[in-house]
Structure 1
Amino acid sequence: MNLKGKTVFITGSSRGIGAATALAFAKEGSKVILNARKAIPEELLSEINDLGSEYQIVLGDVSKLDDVKRIQEEIFQENEQLDVLINNAGITNDKLLIGMKQEDFRSVIETNLMGTFNLTQPLFRKMLRKRSGVIINMASVVGLHGNMGQANYAASKAAIIGLTKTIAREGAIRHIRCNAIAPGMIKSDMTDVLDQKVKDQVLTEIPLGRFGETQEIAQTAVFLAQNEYVTGQVITVDGGMTI
């Protein structure tokens, strides 16, 4: 798929992987639809402007059905169709299983998994009618292998992998592709606050010997949008962590 002039919606795109992904698609000449619960940084908007690409802002919480309904309305008030949906919005709430309350578990499932479902289902219907579209879901290596203290997060990401493969099967007959990206340890606000000893320990498990950059996840999303013969796959971007 040539991405120039295509419309790409990225949830959770105010910072981190989401913001980097928005910039990567803007560089390809796509119109990017940005989403966050509260606001999009002016710096990101300026960078998109400098690239000569269009953008639209649709604020809202993907875990809330009223917000999702309004988000859809705002998207299609301004655009005839949506070409690429990237479900990136997600949260963590880490605790060991023995100390995890139901609300700790539920909150992560509602944003990460239900948020992905809430938005994908209606937009998938529209793609089916148009007989075209790409869906990219943000999973995690934790969804493949689990991680101590992240039962809620791992469960949400493992479920997203299953959802991705099912969407790929259901959409293929109408030329809709769906893939997932499973990032490893990526430099972000969350990794910045880790104790140096923890960082050093994690680095011993990464053959390439470094944390990934947000741009490296964004480049993978661009590849998955462009390549028309890849569907139902989970692409790990983790420096070899899961070899």
Structure 2
Amino acid sequence: MQLKDKTIVITGGGQGLGRAMAVNFAKEGANLALIDMNQEMLDESVNMLTELGVTAKSYVANVTEEAEVEETFKKINDDFNGIHGLINNAGILRDGMFVKAKDGKVVAKMSLEKFQSVIDVNLTGVFLCGREAAAHMIEAGNKGVIINMSSVARAGNMGQTNYSASKAGVVAMTVTWARELGRHGIRVGAIAPGVIRTAMTDAMKPEMRERLEKMKPVGRLGEADEIAHTAKYIFENEFFTGRVVEIDGGIAM
């Protein structure tokens, strides 16, 4: 798919990876619909995109709420007269040990709230947004692309029972959707990033950041623009579907 004049929806588009992908796509002439919970951050992103000469609009919505997601995608479809792509980027972390014990005594357990909140955003939110984007594409007869953001942690990572489970589920949905939606001209792929440089990693203690960098054969953290480049590849390569691309610098989890 050529991105020029296409409408791409990005969840979590107010900052970080979402904003980086939006800017990358805008440079190719795509129009952007950004969904996030933070209006101020959305406004900053939209201003950056409009300066690049494309149409960009913001939508405040909670991706875990079915009615909000349905209403938001209907509005996007009406505002842009169609949807051609979706990047399911919104996600959260609520790390903690499954069960923590000391001297044979359990001192802490991962709460159901901590587990469920991550599943709600990272898995249910992806499901709802993917469903609505696909429905609008099919009804309009638009060929399209859906990208789901997974993680190298999908294989399992200490302290991330909730996050790992959600990101493994994202890959399973990606393969399933690719098989179901291919007949409608909709391709579906996933990206599994490693540790990417963000405001959070920049604020880490130097020794912790250095340890992360040494875990990667490339000797550094990833950049948001490198994930954006991967998303662009998936959109433009018409033979890509039902697969996950690992962009992790060769890290061993």
The TM-score, its normalising length taken from structure 1, stands at 0.95
- Whole-Å separation in 2 of the counterparts to 1:64 and 1:187: 30
Number of residue pairs the alignment of both structures matches: 242
State yes or no: 1:11 paired with 2:22: no
Deviates more, 1:112-121 or 1:70-79: 70-79
Cross-structure match for 1:198: 208
Is contact 1:38–1:60 with CA below 8 Å preserved after alignment?
no
Is contact 2:14–2:44 with CA below 8 Å preserved after alignment?
no
Cross-structure match for 2:31: 31
Cα RMSD between the aligned structures? Answer: 1.5
- Whole-Å separation in 1 of the counterparts to 2:207 and 2:163: 23
- Whole-Å separation in 2 of the counterparts to 1:23 and 1:131: 23
- 3-state SS of the aligned residue for 2:60? coil
State yes or no: 1:127 paired with 2:126: no
Shift of 1:171: 1.1
Is contact 2:85–2:145 with CA below 8 Å preserved after alignment?
yes
Q: Point out where structure 2 has 5 or more consecutive residues left out of the alignment.
A: 100-108
- Whole-Å separation in 2 of the counterparts to 1:73 and 1:175: 20
Instruction: State the one-letter code of the partner of 2:232.
Output: V
Partner of residue 159 from structure 1, selected from 149, 152, 169: 169
Structure showing greater Rg: 2
Cross-structure match for 1:53: 54
The TM-score, its normalising length taken from structure 2, stands at 0.91
Shift of 1:131: 5.2
Instruction: State the one-letter code of the partner of 2:246.
Output: T
- 3-state SS of the aligned residue for 2:38? coil
Cross-structure match for 2:104: none
- Whole-Å separation in 2 of the counterparts to 1:153 and 1:195: 23
Instruction: Report % sequence identity.
Output: 40
Do the aligned partners of residues 39 and 131 (structure 1) sit closer, same or farther apart at CA in structure 2, a change above 3 Å counting?
A: closer
Report 1:78-93 matches (<5 A): 78-93=79-94
- Whole-Å separation in 2 of the counterparts to 1:2 and 1:102: 43
Q: Would you tell me which structure has more strand in proportion to its own residues?
A: 2
Shift of 1:40: 4.5
Shift of 1:48: 1.1
Is contact 1:34–1:40 with CA below 8 Å preserved after alignment?
no
- Whole-Å separation in 2 of the counterparts to 1:112 and 1:43: 24
- Whole-Å separation in 2 of the counterparts to 1:171 and 1:123: 12
Q: Point out where structure 1 has 5 or more consecutive residues left out of the alignment.
A: none
- 3-state SS of the aligned residue for 1:180? strand
